[in-house]
């Protein structure tokens, strides 16, 4: 697919179509959180563009055959942003939007509060307790090497979760073993539950940390779908090192009263807040700007 | 007596002694030859866990993770979720001790087919002292859903256990020991995950043991016989899922039970047996094991003696429980 050229009968470009998808995903995140009555708002909204880029452009996957053995894997380490994973998977066709919007966190649901592998198609790992994703992604990469498989493994990490030492054990291992078919993406939104990351436990200089562990590092605007796709493509051309993409995002992106406010890390909107949020997201056009504009 | 299926030289002075960890090394090599998906990981403890036996034969399927057990458990989960059969090899104080959350979430919750091999279990690690004596591993693993727990009694059974665990699909934990211990079983001794084996039949009391202390339990039973006490000795190698039928039937037959293990008396084999009997056939019971304390440096036999896991203590416990029998 050539980016920048009209892709539908209305003359929209690929990127414009992806932006519409990201917008629909944001709306569904608000709706599902309102229905669930608990869950995380800021992280999922902030990662809507990254998830859209991955599932609608970057990943080699097949929603009709979720266990296809040559599929690219996406490991979600910070499982609390499950709402964006669930809505994206529903939009991609793994299961219905009705299930996504109506059953999150409810008894007997397949959409557990934090993802559970085996419960729901498209989920590659169980996650929630922080710091556990990258190691599992590495295991999947090693299995690919042993089986001479060409699939790529993506791992999404929160920034706050990198307080956990296990991440650095994994980062050290991946650097040592030159795991080229591993692309990690850090959601650099600068918040965690108790406040700003640099106050709770400073991560900076983050880029230099990864580089000193022998990773190749790229930085993108995490709301610029074109940039995200380009970085993922560039990562595929790096053969000597694993790649970390630092995606600079705004927590709560798309909803003014949630943006940058760490209090929205772990709570859902109430009914009036959801109404306001949906209205804002529906009129977002032009506020999330990609390269082509 | 029902010892004909055991090592015929069991009670002779020169009984062969082999560390159970050797059985692990031989077991993973045997599995590796049969199944190309078997993978072995270690955290800087290749030789002492005997993972090096696999490493030498299958270097392309051997993964050195360094001193990073949390990462190692996670990598194993990722391998298992991709169809591999990973064996995580380290000391039992570190796996599961250092990475229980990873075992819980990345492995057990996901039903990832990971095999956790905890070496240097028990107080018989000796001179290294309390920090390296895994005495809580059974308790912290057996409370987790979806995982089985095995404690082989000798090197031969350790090899059989390793192979059986490799052929079983699902999370598994098994522990083995550093020191040479008597070879109790033979190739012909039956072994099946989940099936407790009666190694010696008796009528007056049941001694339920696991690990190398099965040997001390058999010795105690032999000596007790001279005093007219017929003790039944059960090798309860599978702590989970525990063999309720065999345990309850034996308790019903003898009316008194003593458990013997190289583990804290709380939460290990003794706890598991107490749970089964309390619900199915309550009888007077005594537990031999680490008496809710940390160990210390010393020679293995000195430590087993000091902390009450000796033949003498087993005999005392038997006599004590017999007094409580109705």
Domain residue spans in chain A?
14-282
Point out the residue among A140, A144, A173 whose CB comes nearest to the CB of B71.
A173
Inter-chain CB proximity B86 and A139 less than 8 Å:
yes
Q: How far from A164 is each of A128, A251, A270, CA to CA, in Å?
A: 13, 20, 32
Q: Are residues B42 and B89 in contact, defined by beta-carbon separation less than 8 angstroms?
A: yes
Q: Most distant CA pair in chain A: distance in Å? A: 53
CATH number, domain A14-282, options 3.40.640.10, 1.20.140.10, 3.40.50.970, 3.40.50.1010? 3.40.50.970
Catalytic residue among B3, B69, B197, B279: B69
Domain ranges of chain B: 3-13+188-324, 17-182
Question: Chain A interface, mutation test: which of B42, B73, B82, B105, most A Cβ atoms within 10 Å?
Answer: B82
8 Å CB contact between A185 and A105:
no
For an interface test with B, give the residue of A137, A139, A155 to mutate (most B CBs within 10 A): A139
Work out the average pLDDT over B65-76: 98
Mean pLDDT, chain A, rounded, equals 94
- CATH number (3.40.50.970, 3.30.300.30, 3.50.50.60, 3.40.50.1580) of B17-182 reads 3.40.50.970
- Measure CA of the first residue to CA of the last residue in chain A; give whole Å: 19
Beta-strand pair B17-19/B180-182? antiparallel
- State the pLDDT at residue A1: 47
CATH fold for domain B3-13+188-324:
Rossmann fold (3.40.50)
Chain A 65-94, CB below 8 Å of chain B: which residues? 69, 75
Q: Which residues of chain B neighbour A166 with C-beta distances below 8 Å?
A: 68, 70-71, 74, 102
CB contact under 8 A, A173 and B66: yes
Nearest to A132 among B72, B82, B102 (CB): B102
The neighbouring-strand residues paired with A19 are none
Rounded to whole angstroms, what are the CA distances from B14 to B8, B179, B280?
A: 11, 16, 41
Taking Cα atoms as reference points, which of A223, A208, A198, A195 lies closest to residue A286? A223
What number is the average pLDDT over the span B219-241? 98
pLDDT tens digits, one per residue of A216-256: 999 999 999 999 999 999 999 999 999 999 999 999 999 99
How much is the mean pLDDT over chain B? 97
* Per-residue pLDDT band at B283 (split at 50, 70, 90): very high
Contact between chains at A143 and B83 (C-beta distance less than 8 A): yes
User: Chain B partners of A143 at a C-beta cutoff of 8 Å?
Assistant: 78-79, 82-84
Q: Report whether B56 contacts B93 (CB < 8 A).
A: no
List all residues 6 or more positions away from A45 whose beta carbon is below 8 Å from its beta carbon: A26, A29, A30, A84, A251, A252, A253, A254, A255, A258
Structure letter (DSSP) for residue A72: P
pLDDT of residue B30: 98
What's the CA gap between A232 and A236, in Å, rounded? 7
| Contact (CB<8Å) A143/B84 | yes
Whether B73 and A138 lie within 8 Å, measured CB to CB: no
Q: Report pLDDT for B125.
A: 94
Q: Return the number of other C-beta atoms located less than 10 Å from residue B97's C-beta.
A: 18
Distance, CA of A266 to CA of A81 (rounded, Å): 9
**In this complex, how many residue pairs, one in chain A and one in chain B, have their CB atoms less than 8 Å apart?**
104
B interface toward A at CB cutoff 8 Å? 39, 60-61, 63, 65-66, 68, 70-84, 86, 101-102, 105-106, 109-111
Strands B205-209 and B257-264 come out as parallel
Angle at the Cα of B3 from the Cα atoms of B2 and B4, rounded to 5 degrees: 95
Per the annotation, the verdict on B33 as an active-site residue is: no
- Angle of helix A14-36 relative to helix A82-92, nearest 10 degrees? 130
- pLDDT for A14-60, tens place per residue? 899 999 999 999 999 999 999 999 999 999 999 999 999 999 999 99
Of A176, A228, A220, A267, residue with least CA distance to A59:
A228
* B82 → chain A, closest CA residue: A140
Q: Are residues B78 and A143, on separate chains, in Cβ contact within 8 Å?
A: yes
């Amino acid at each position: 697919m050539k980016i920048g050229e009209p892709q539908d009968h209305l003359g929209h470009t690929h990127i414009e179509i992806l932006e519409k998808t990201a917008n629909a995903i944001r709306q569904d995140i608000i709706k599902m959180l309102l229905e669930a009555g608990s869950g995380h708002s800021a992280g999922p909204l902030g990662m809507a563009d990254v998830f859209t880029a991955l599932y609608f452009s970057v990943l080699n996957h097949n929603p009709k055959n979720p266990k296809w053995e040559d599929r690219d894997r996406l490991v979600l380490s910070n499982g609390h942003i499950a709402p964006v994973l669930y809505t994206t998977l529903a939009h991609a066709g793994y299961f219905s939007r009705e299930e996504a919007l109506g059953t999150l966190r409810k008894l007997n649901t397949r959409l557990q509060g934090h993802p559970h592998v085996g419960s729901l198609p498209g989920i590659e790992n169980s996650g929630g307790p922080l710091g556990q994703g990258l190691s599992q992604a590495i295991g999947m990469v090693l299995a690919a090497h042993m089986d001479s498989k060409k699939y790529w493994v993506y791992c999404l990490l929160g920034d706050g979760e990198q307080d956990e030492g296990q991440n650095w054990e994994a980062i050290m291992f991946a650097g040592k073993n030159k795991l080229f078919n591993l692309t990690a993406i850090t959601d650099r939104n600068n918040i965690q539950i108790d406040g700003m990351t640099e106050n709770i436990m400073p991560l900076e200089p983050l880029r230099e940390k990864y580089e000193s562990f022998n990773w190749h590092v790229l930085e993108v605007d995490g709301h610029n779908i074109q940039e995200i796709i380009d970085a993922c493509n560039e990562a595929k051309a790096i053969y000597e090192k694993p790649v970390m993409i630092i995606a600079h995002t705004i927590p709560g992106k798309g909803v003014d009263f949630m943006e940058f406010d760490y209090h929205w890390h772990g709570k859902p909107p109430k009914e009036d807040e959801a109404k306001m949020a949906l209205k804002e997201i529906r009129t977002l056009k032009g506020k999330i700007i990609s390269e082509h504009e | 007596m029902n010892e004909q299926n055991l090592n015929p030289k069991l009670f002779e002075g020169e009984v062969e002694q082999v560390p159970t960890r050797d059985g692990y090394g031989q077991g993973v090599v045997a599995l590796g030859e049969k199944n190309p998906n078997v993978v072995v990981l270690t955290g800087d403890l290749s030789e002492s866990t005997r993972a090096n036996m696999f490493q030498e034969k299958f270097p392309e399927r051997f993964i050195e993770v360094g001193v990073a057990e949390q990462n190692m458990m996670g990598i194993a989960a990722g391998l298992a979720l991709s169809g591999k059969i990973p064996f995580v090899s380290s000391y039992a104080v570190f796996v599961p001790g250092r990475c229980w959350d990873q075992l819980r979430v990345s492995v057990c919750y996901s039903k990832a087919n990971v095999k956790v091999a905890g070496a240097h279990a028990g107080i018989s690690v000796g001179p290294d002292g309390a920090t390296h004596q895994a005495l809580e591993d059974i308790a912290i693993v057996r409370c987790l859903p979806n995982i089985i727990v095995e404690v082989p009694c000798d090197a031969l059974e350790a090899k059989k256990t390793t192979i059986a665990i490799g052929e079983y699909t699902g999370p598994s934990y098994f522990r083995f020991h550093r020191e040479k211990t008597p070879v109790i079983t033979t190739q012909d001794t039956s072994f099946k995950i989940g099936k407790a084996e009666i190694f010696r039949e008796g009528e007056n009391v049941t001694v339920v043991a696991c690990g190398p202390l099965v040997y001390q339990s058999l010795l105690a039973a032999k000596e007790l016989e001279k005093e007219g006490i017929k003790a039944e000795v059960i090798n309860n190698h599978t702590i989970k899922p525990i063999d309720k039928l065999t345990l309850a039937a034996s308790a019903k037959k003898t009316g008194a039970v003593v458990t013997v293990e190289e583990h804290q008396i709380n939460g290990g084999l003794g706890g598991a047996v107490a749970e089964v009997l309390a619900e199915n056939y309550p009888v007077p019971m005594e537990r031999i094991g680490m008496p809710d304390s940390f160990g210390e440096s010393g020679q293995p036999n000195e430590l087993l003696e000091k902390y009450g896991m000796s033949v003498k203590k087993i005999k005392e416990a038997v006599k004590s429980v017999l007094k409580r029998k109705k």
